[in-house]
Structure 1
Amino acid sequence: MTKSSTSGMTRRALLGAFAATAVVAAPTYSKAAGFLRGGGDIRRIRMYSGRTGERIDMVYWVDGKYIKGAVKEVNQFMRDWRSDQVKDMDLRTIDIMAAAHNMLDVSEPYMLLSGYRSPQTNAMLRRRSRGVAKNSLHMKGQAADLRLSSRSVSQMAKAAMSCRAGGVGQYYGSNFVHMDCGVIRTWRG
């Protein structure tokens, strides 16, 4: 999962992707909406899964275009690890995650707790916890539950909320933040 696909990329896009990995400046909270609307030339996502041991660190968007092979790898990485089912993730969610990560100015990858959830997995989790929504956006590939050891739930939530692009749930007891591309809303779980 650590390699990225370069098929279909122009030489300019590839060089831009490599140059982006050397840039450490992050957009401020006030520039989050611009980043999501295309204010950035390159978008990168970094995550690892404690469940599967997999890691992903790749540029998935360059010069206004999603990189098909990279997006496919993100979908595979964010699969329901319990059933090994893969769903195309809503790219708006990935964009929110990437923008929030950039604003937090960390090199640490997100720990992905939950990406896509099959209806069966969601039902099983609902039986175990009152905090799992019956019609969870996880089942549509529109949500992710994330953690950073170097940033607090509050810091992560503030960055995600500044994107003004979806739902943000703060789970202090379990130390994670839910980010989705649904209706703009916030809550504490």
Structure 2
Amino acid sequence: MARLFHRFDCPCCDPVVARRREVIRAGLGGLLGLAAMPVAAQAQAVAAGGARVVRIHRVQTGDSFEGIYWRDGRYDREALRKLDVVLRDPSLDETTPMDPRLFDVLFTVAQRLGAGDEAYEVISGYRAPETNAARARQSRRVSRVSLHMSGMAADVRLPGQQAMGIARIAANMQIGGVGLYRRDGFVHLDCGPARRW
């Protein structure tokens, strides 16, 4: 059974404060997402009521999620809970609330690539601090202050897409951090400040 941390365990996650943040994020995310999409995709998203779909397959666990995570101007809480479980730290079976803006990044990149029907293969999602520290000891390429620990990052592949192409599109969009791990064949995407490595 996954060890769950509830969304309301800290004062900043109070339901009233969280709801306000969701409304602001949804509005900003919607504007950024639509601005980054090609005109045809923008029209399709608006015609479909602006619903956003994400498809994720977790490599280590075999867990998957395919569905709408944002509709009618707000995030779907049940979908977010399911995504939290899929992107959990499998080494400790620990779950944390993932930042919904990460899914906006994944959605927007897939749309721009014309790969909206493909499932992301997630190599790494949330990492507990202990897991991240262990990985940082093994490799200099792992940041000791990784956004994976905040539920803001995922290391991904898209079938049929080259890692370099994903990284280039994501970096050009300037909607978060992008790291290309060419040798390992995956891309780090996050919803932090725009940067690349």
Into which bin does the TM-score normalised by the smaller protein fall? Answer: 0.7 to 0.9
- What stretches of structure 1 move > 2 A for 4+ residues in a row? 27-32
- Secondary structure class of the residue paired with 2:94: coil
TM-score (norm 1): 0.77
Counterpart of 2:148 in structure 1: which amino acid?
H
Question: Structure 1 residue 147 and structure 2 residue 154: aligned?
Answer: no
Q: Which residue of 2 aligns with 1:4?
A: none
Q: Which residue of 2 aligns with 1:134?
A: 144
Q: Give the CA RMSD over aligned residues.
A: 2.2
Of the three residues 64, 80, 85, the one matched with 1:76 is 85
TM-score (norm 2): 0.74
Q: How far apart, CA to CA, are the structure 2 residues paired with 1:47 and 1:158? A: 21
Q: How far is the alpha carbon of 1:42 from its aligned partner?
A: 0.9
**Paired residue total:** 158
Q: How far is the alpha carbon of 1:122 from its aligned partner?
A: 0.3
Identity of aligned residues (%): 37
Q: How far is the alpha carbon of 1:128 from its aligned partner?
A: 1.4
CA contact (8 A) 2:58 2:121 kept: yes
Q: Which residue of 1 aligns with 2:194?
A: 184
Q: How far apart, CA to CA, are the structure 1 residues paired with 2:98 and 2:63? A: 17
Q: Which residue of 2 aligns with 1:112?
A: 122
CA contact (8 A) 1:96 1:165 kept: yes
Moved more, 154-163 or 164-173: 154-163
**Where does the alignment leave 5 or more consecutive residues of structure 2 unmatched?**
1-33
Question: Structure 1 residue 54 and structure 2 residue 63: aligned?
Answer: yes
- When you count helix as a share of all residues, which structure comes out higher? 2
Q: How far is the alpha carbon of 1:29 from its aligned partner?
A: 5.4
Q: How far apart, CA to CA, are the structure 1 residues paired with 2:190 and 2:60? A: 21
> Taking CA–CA contacts closer than 8 Å with sequence separation of 6 or more, which of the two structures ends up with the larger relative contact order?
1
- Secondary structure class of the residue paired with 1:168: strand
**Where does the alignment leave 5 or more consecutive residues of structure 1 unmatched?**
1-26
Counterpart of 1:127 in structure 2: which amino acid?
R
Change (3 A) 1:103 1:186: same
